[in-house]
């Protein structure tokens, strides 16, 4: 998801049972749906449970189930992630890393794990496969392994021909 979509995300738009997130008013203009993997579902459940405990401890409602998923410390809407993003990057020792780079990381990892470009285009919600290609970067190690697979294939063919 894009940063703005995450910041506007509300609990009512998350359906753990079907594993989908509805994105309201996305870049395309029409509501869209994003699929969740088990890691995402688990993270959202954990966030919901933590939110419930905070509400019980403080004896005040931060956000109702229809409220924003990601909220500021005092319960309001987060307008910008700078306050949270940059300290995390500093602690992690990351330089020149932007929130949008996470979309590139998703696309690259999906492509390198074997997700075909057509499926990746749908998951990224891109209208054009060319845009998806701009996001999916193959690491040098992944490319080397692809070349090694050709060697292994050739070796199997040679062994089979010798029999």
Residues 105-121: tens digit of each pLDDT? 999 999 999 999 999 99
CATH of the domain at 28: 1.10.443.10
Structural domain includes residue 95: no
Q: Give the H/E segment covering residue 32.
A: strand 32-35
Task: Say if residue 107 is in the same domain as residue 74.
Answer: no
Q: What is the pTM of this model?
A: 0.76
Number of structural domains, the chain?
2
What is the percentage of the chain residues whose pLDDT exceeds 70?
91
Interval 48-87: pLDDT, tens:
888 776 655 554 544 444 488 988 877 778 888 888 899 9
Handedness of CA 29, 33, 37, 40 (dihedral sign): positive
Domain coverage including residue 51: 1-80
């Amino acid at each position: 998801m894009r940063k703005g979509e995450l910041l506007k995300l509300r609990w009512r738009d998350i359906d753990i049972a079907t594993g989908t997130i509805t994105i309201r008013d996305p870049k395309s203009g029409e509501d869209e749906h994003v699929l969740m993997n088990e890691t995402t579902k688990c993270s959202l459940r954990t966030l919901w449970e933590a939110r419930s405990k905070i509400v019980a401890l403080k004896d005040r409602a931060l956000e109702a189930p229809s409220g924003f998923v990601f909220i500021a410390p005092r319960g309001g809407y987060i307008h910008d992630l700078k306050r949270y993003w940059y300290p995390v990057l500093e602690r992690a020792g990351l330089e020149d890393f932007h929130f949008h780079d996470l979309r590139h990381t998703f696309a690259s990892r999906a492509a390198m794990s074997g997700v075909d470009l057509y499926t990746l285009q749908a998951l990224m919600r891109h209208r054009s496969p060319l845009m998806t290609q701009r996001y999916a970067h193959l690491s040098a190690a992944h490319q080397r392994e692809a070349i090694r697979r050709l060697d292994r294939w050739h070796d199997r063919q040679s062994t089979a021909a010798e029999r």
